[in-house]
Amino acid sequence: MFYIKVGKRKRNIREDNVYTRCPECGREHAVDLWEVFEAGGDLYTAGVYCEECTAKRAAEKKPS
Ligand SMILES: [Zn+2]
């Protein structure tokens, strides 16, 4: 189990308290770290797109 420390208090890392910024639009959003790990990312280099940009990127990849 990993946890973060805020001052002297420990906080468990849960799926609902880890946030990142979307590299596309800069919006802050919650991220599921396990999904990042499963996708082969890590805490330092992973860029996680928000739902909207993920959908937009998926749509752009589709042949028109
Ligand atoms: Zn975005």
Distance CA 42, CA 47 (A): 9
Domain ranges of the chain: 14-61
Residue 20 CA to ligand 1 centre (angstroms)? 11
pLDDT tens for each residue of 49-61: 999 999 999 999 8
pLDDT tens for each residue of 20-53: 899 999 999 988 888 888 888 777 777 889 999 9
What's the predicted TM-score (pTM) here? 0.67
Neighbours of ion ligand 1 (CB under 5 A): 22, 24-25, 50, 53
* Structural contact between residues 49 and 21, judged by C-beta atoms closer than 8 angstroms: no
